[in-house]
Structure 1
Amino acid sequence: MEEEENLRPGGEALEEKKSVKGFWDFLWVPLDWFKMLAEEMHWSFVLGVIVVYGISQGLGGGLGRVGTDYYMKDVQKVQPSEAQVYSGITLIPWIVKPLWGLLTDVLPIAGYRRRPYFVLAGLLGVISMLLLSLQKKLHIAFALLSLTAGSAGIAIADVTIDACVAQNSISNPSLAADIQSLCGLSSSIGALVGFSISGFLVHLLGPKGVLGLLSIPAGLVLLVGVVLSEPHIPNFAYRQVTQKFMDACKAMWTTLKLPDVWRPCLYMYLSLTLSLSIHDGMFYWYTDSKAGPAFSEEDIGFIFSIGSVGSLVGVLLYQNFLKDYPFRNLLFWTQLLFGVSGMLDLMMVLRLNLKFGIPDYFFVVIDSGVSQMIGRLKWMPLLVLSSKLCPSGIEGTFFALLMSIDNFGILSSTWIGGLLLHILKVTRTQFDNLWLAILIRNILRVVPLCLLYLVPRSDPTSSILPTEMLKTKDGAKLDESEKIELVSLVSHPI
């Protein structure tokens, strides 16, 4: 007993010392990790990932989502069905992402493959956002053109940094997982911060002021193009550009004709199209003072931020518990839950939550988190399935093509949803039939269950493509320079 008492103070001091050391490790380990990445791959690349994924797409995406919604509603004063159509048009630059990927891969400018495209993307963003912010009475056509140009700037920067990520993953294979972690961490934190402060900034500066702030992320993208460390390519053979374009397009078309490829692609497109988007109808109802709950700008921003948290939870659930399940089985349950989760919107629009004593704010926060979590769980197996459909040699460009097909599905969903709102006469002030639009959307969300036969029964560890398409010519590996030319990864959905 005496020995135990003598040892106890020293043991407590040791435990206290360990806890202090653990606290400082918690602070310094991430900094050491960033320092390691900067030393191994140059600080300008790490800066580029943080700026494009974290600031431009993450933070800027959160601010732009809420700012654009209020800009269309309060500044341009368009109907929700029109806003749906306009938001679909701004998606067009993301549909042609393979084009941006091929350009950055095979068409250097002034001897550089990546830097000029960052500069171009930054200039597009700065000019378009300042035009929206400073012009007092901008016609809807020019406003839409500016929003689309800003979207194109983000898409070009996204494809270009994807190519840089792929290139560094090839040259530093031991750091490939760390690079992807940096990308995901930057995007998630940026989106959470962006949505969290978006409502406050819209209330403080107005939607035009928030859109003007988006010129700052675009300016940082331009800065990345100036400081990025990249080898210069003198005397580039521009005569080969056309041939490289033709070879890549031919290889993609040959792959796309395979039944093992076009059938899953058709399912992905139809599942996204049938998941009708009526976002603007719900947004107008959320902010209406008579028919809806009259949420403030701060409330809307917080609701979206909870949605981003739900999306992150969905990623963690898939990674830790669901990633090994067969595609068809997992898609069945996630698609079914996706349709059922839409009933939360129906309950709120019919005000059933109030009958059960659940306040609007609490109910919509739960709705947003659950819906985004299930939506992410539905998307993750589709993303993995897409990666399984990419043949050797054109992995990156073909993956960008598959993401473009998915983006086209989202565009179709947005436009058809806008048409539905127009047919049901859901306007800026009339929401009598909004419940019917939600019900139709929820029913259509379940329809893809009848199309699951298009999805292979295999699991994520199995190959889908024929063995010969998973090898290069003569079974040899691609030369590193060839890989870099053909890669343009799309690591973030849409």
Structure 2
Amino acid sequence: MGENTNVTVTARAKSKTVLSLLTEPIQWLQMLSSKLNPTFMIGVFLIYGLGQGLSGSLFKVVADYYWKDVQKLQPSTVQLLVGVYFIPWVLKPLWGILTDAFPVRGYRRRPYFIISGVIGTVSAVTVALTGNLAVTAALMCFLGVSASLAIADVTIDACIARNSIEVRELAPDLQSLCGYCSGAGALVGYLASGFFVHRLGPQESLGLMALSPALTTVLGFVIYENRTSHIEKKQAVVESVRTTIRSMFKTIRYPQVWRPSLFMFLSLAFNVSTHEGHFYWYTEPKVGPAFSQEFVGVIYAIGAVASLIGVLIYHKALKDYAFRDLVFYAQLLYGISGVLDLIFILRWNLVIGIPDYFFVVIEETATRITGKIRWMPMLVLSTQLCPLGIEGTFFALLMCIDSIGALLSKWGGGVLLRLLHVTRTDFTNLWLAVLIRDMLRFAILALVFLVPKTGQYEELLPSDVSQNNTSHEVDEETLELVPTKGKTEV
């Protein structure tokens, strides 16, 4: 009897554990919804999940095949072009100032969702339906798609920064929510991308990019936002912009701000991207593993799952650690994971008996998990550096600095591939490009002293910085709701 009772108790405990695993995410979302405006949650799901996640993953895979098979460009050239249509992300402070200082018919957020949606929809439809499109024209369409994602991202990021400041204990949770949404969307997008490229072709598949901006346009019409009760004069708008810019430059001069900002910039700029060289090598039948279009999508989908795992590890186990310690060990693991790329390019995996299809799963999983764990605390740190009152524009400034670093990473990788003569058919020196990239990843460890030692819940800015900016029309930020009792209907 005693043994049967123990077995029953154990079975019940296991069932409760499984049930809690299923209900915990729902309870977590309910908790966030009770403390934040539901329209803010919907915006995060649409912009991060459908936009950056689903559309971003489709864009990455389909655009690579478009440049390779339709335009027939060299990998180094594509790497440089990818940097060009990354420029709208560098201009995020401009989008932030526009949304903060230039309302349209009394609304600061709705019009820019609509504008970004229209730009993205027209650009995606144009490149999908126009045959024999010149390289320059195709690049302009890709710029439009990228600008659409960037403008929508700036608007929702302002709300995330505000909530992270006013409900400081939720700052890591909000970044986890964004990570989960983008990771889940990317998983679906990557799984579908190879199928659509194979069935429709790379150019026709670009038409799928119109889905996200079309829904972003709808979001602009339905999302709740208070209309401003007064119409500002041009002089007042100009003065508001000047005040915002002065506050931004004053804040960025604080050591608590410029030091971690410099680290984030350098850690991205030194992490040169050799992605296009890898992509061309993946599909090469003579010297590469000759992965099919469907399997390339599966590889990236596995990476999306790994990113979700990285977010989960951070959310469950790492958000209580100090910034500097977490960034150091995450960067170390990220550098070690990059060595797997080198082993794969040199085909040492075959020497030790690991097939290409299995080894690429190991490589992609390790890189994505460590990369996500490395970057999550940086995003949380960025939200904690934003002064209340100009948080939207200042967060856009920090993301602009990061985007410039990422742009230099892409262009640096393109230059490196060209210098080493990596082409569509010659991958002799690709291993050397990967080796140089890995050495730079380890070199970044010497810069970790720029990251503060403080915990992820602690306030970093001097109190006078936020106090000087709190009068900057704080009550007009209406895409989020902080108090539990005063919910606003959508």
Q: Which residue is 2:45 aligned to? A: 50
For the Cα contact (< 8 Å) 2:165–2:383, is it kept in 1?
A: no
Q: For residue 66 of structure 1, what is the amino acid of its counterpart? A: V
* Contact 1:81/1:421 (<8 A) preserved: yes
- In structure 1, what is the equivalent of residue 58 of structure 2? 63
Contact 1:133 1:208 in 2 (8 A): yes
Tell me the equivalent position of 2:488.
Answer: none
For 2:26 and 2:213, locate their aligned partners in 1 and report how far apart those are by CA, in whole Å. Answer: 26
- TM alignment of 1:349-360, pairs within 5 A: 349-360=345-356
Q: What is the aligned counterpart of 1:236 among 222, 231, 234?
A: 231
2:143 to 144, 148, 155: 148
Task: Report if the CA contact (8 A) 1:64-1:210 is conserved.
Answer: no
Task: Kindly indicate whether the alpha-carbon contact (under 8 Å) linking 1:314 and 1:377 is maintained by their aligned counterparts in 2.
Answer: yes
Alignment of 1:102-117 (within 5 A): 102-117=97-112
- Whether contact under 8 Å (1:263, 1:455) holds in the other structure is yes
Q: Tell me, yes or no, if the aligned pair for 2:345 and 2:431 is still in contact at 8 Å.
A: yes
**Compared CA separation, residues 341 and 226, structure 1 to 2 (3 A):** same
> 1:342 is paired with a residue of what secondary structure?
helix
| Pairing partner for 2:130 from 126, 131, 135 | 135
* Residue 47 to residue 316, structure 1, CA distance change in 2 (3 Å): closer
User: Residue 232 of structure 1: CA displacement?
Assistant: 2.9
**Which residue does 2:301 correspond to in 1?**
305
Asked if structure 1 preserves the Cα contact closer than 8 Å seen for 2:62 and 2:202, the reply is: yes
Q: Check if 1:223 corresponds to 2:218.
A: yes
Cα distance, 1:462–1:23 mapped onto 2, change above 3 Å: closer
Letter aligned with residue 189 of structure 1: A
2:226–2:476 CA contact under 8 A, matched in 1: no
Report the counterpart of residue 368 of structure 1 in structure 2: 364
Task: Please report how far the alpha carbon of residue 231 of structure 1 lies from its aligned counterpart in structure 2 after TM superposition.
Answer: 2.8
1:382 paired with 2:378, answer yes
The answer (yes or no) to whether the contact 1:105–1:487 under 8 Å persists in 2 is no
Q: CA 1:256–1:250 in 2, change beyond 3 Å: closer, same or farther?
A: same
The answer on 1:258 being equivalent to 2:258 is: no
Quote the residue 2:442 is aligned against.
Answer: 446
Residue of structure 2 in register with 1:482 after alignment: 474
Q: Which runs of 5+ in 1 are unaligned?
A: 489-494
Q: What letter matches 1:209 in structure 2?
A: E
264-273 vs 289-298, which deviates more? 264-273
Alignment check: 8 A CA contact 1:395 1:487 kept: no
Amino acid of the structure 2 residue aligned with 1:121: S
1:82 corresponding residue in structure 2: 77
1:324 to 313, 316, 320: 320
Give the 3 Å change call, closer, same or farther, for CA 353–168 of structure 1 in structure 2: closer
Report the AA paired with residue 103 of structure 1: L
Q: CA deviation at 1:26?
A: 5.5
CA distance in 2, matches of 1:36, 1:335: 30
Letter in 1 for 2:474: E
Q: Once the two structures are superposed, what CA deviation does each residue of 1:279-300 show, in whole Å capped at 9, x if it has no partner?
A: 0001000011111001011111
- Work out whether residues 121 and 221 of structure 1, in 8 Å CA contact, stay in contact via their aligned partners in 2: yes
Match of 1:491 in 2: none
Give the Å deviation of 1:407. 1.0
Range with greater deviation from structure 2 (77-86 or 153-162): 153-162
2:291 aligned residue: 295
Query: Aligned letter for 2:269?
Result: T
Which whole-Å CA distance do the structure 1 matches of 2:253 and 2:174 have between them? 33
Q: Give the stretch that moved more between structures: 92-101 or 233-242.
A: 233-242
User: CA separation in 2, counterparts of 1:311 and 1:68?
Assistant: 21
Contact 1:306–1:369 (CA under 8 A) maintained in structure 2:
yes
Aligned match of 1:157: 152
- The Cα of 1:68 is off from its aligned counterpart by 0.8
Shift of 1:385: 2.8
> Given residue 126 of structure 1, which amino acid in structure 2 is its aligned partner?
T
1:179 and 1:313, CA in 2 relative to 1: closer, same or farther beyond 3 A? Answer: closer
CA drift of 1:328 comes to 2.9
**What is the SS of the residue equivalent to 2:201?**
helix
TM-score (norm 2): 0.86
Q: Tell me which structure has the larger Cα radius of gyration.
A: 1
Q: Does residue 206 in structure 1 map to residue 198 in structure 2?
A: no
Contact 1:121 1:153 in 2 (8 A): yes
- Against the structure 1 CA distance between its residues 258 and 145, is the aligned structure 2 distance closer, same or farther, given a 3 Å change threshold? same
Cα root mean square deviation, aligned: 3.5
Q: Deviations over 1:262-293 (max 9, x none)?
A: 22222221111111100000100001111100
Q: Secondary structure at the match of 1:331?
A: helix
Once the two structures are TM-superposed, the CA of residue 29 in structure 1 deviates from its matched residue by 9.2
Unaligned runs of 5+ in 2: 481-490
Q: Which moved more, 1:29-38 or 1:314-323?
A: 29-38
CA distance in 2, matches of 1:36, 1:267: 31
Distance 1:439-1:67 versus aligned 2 partners, 3 A rule = same
Deviates more, 1:254-263 or 1:156-165: 156-165
Measured in 2, the distance between the counterparts of 1:204 and 1:277 equals 29
Q: 2:334·2:367 contact (CA, 8 Å) conserved in 1?
A: yes
CA distance in 2, matches of 1:468, 1:170: 15
Report the more deviating stretch, 192-201 or 409-418.
Answer: 192-201
Cα shift at 1:318: 2.2
Residue 485 of structure 2: aligned partner: none
| Distance in structure 2 (CA, Å) of the matches to 1:446 and 1:285 | 25
Q: Aligned pair count?
A: 475
Contact 1:396 1:487 in 2 (8 A): no
CA drift of 1:108 comes to 1.1
Distance in structure 1 (CA, Å) of the matches to 2:346 and 2:448: 32
Note the alpha carbon deviations across 1:366-398, whole angstroms, 9 max, x for none: 100100111112112322332333334323322
C-alpha displacement of 1:453: 3.0
Name the CA distance, whole Å, in 2 between partners of 1:444 and 1:322: 25
The aligned residue for residue 403 of structure 1 is 399
Partner of 1:283: 279
Closer, same or farther in 2 for the Cα pair 1:325/1:175, shift >3 Å?
closer
Displacement of 1:447 in angstroms is: 1.3
Shift of 1:102: 1.9
Cα 1:140/1:172, change in 2 over 3 Å: same
